[in-house]
Amino acid sequence: MSEQKVRYSDEELEEFKALILEKIELSKRDYDQMMDVLTNRSGNGVDDTLPTYKVLEEGSMTQTKEELTQSAARMQKFIQGLQAALVRIENKTYGVCRQTGKLIPKERLRAVPHATLSIEAKLGQK
């Protein structure tokens, strides 16, 4: 009977670390772009040149800003999850289901690199 792996090898952890660092970089870039729009840092100055349409667009603009704010908050949470995954890599606990103690399949970790639960554990939580 073969012994079941209890953690990923250092080489495997390095592979996941590279994937996570890339996702963090891309996510931070997206987050910064959202924040630029929300804070009007990249504004093109048309707000004061089109006063006629301002009243009509105000409701739409408010909805767009709310959606963008929610997206930015989700992105920030995603980045925090990825950063926490880096800590687990350093602790060599990355990829271990926090409920079952078994390894989370590589396919799941590649799709959801900040996962802390296996699919079985996640489905069992409902």
pLDDT tens, position by position, 32-45: 999 998 888 765 55
Domain residue ranges of the chain, discontinuous segments joined by +: 10-94
Q: What is the pLDDT of residues 5-35, one digit of tens each?
A: 889 999 999 999 999 999 999 999 999 999 9
The predicted model scores a pTM of: 0.78
Give yes or no for a contact between 23 and 113, defined as CB atoms under 8 angstroms apart: yes
d(CA 121, CA 126): 9
Most confident of 64-73, 102-111, 116-125: 102-111
Tokens 């909805």 correspond to 63
Higher pLDDT, 104 or 64: 104
Distances in Å between the Cα of 81 and the Cα atoms of 32, 60, 75, 84, 105 are 17, 32, 10, 5, 18
Indicate whether 77 pLDDT > 60: yes
C-alpha–C-alpha distance, residues 76 and 31, integer Å: 7
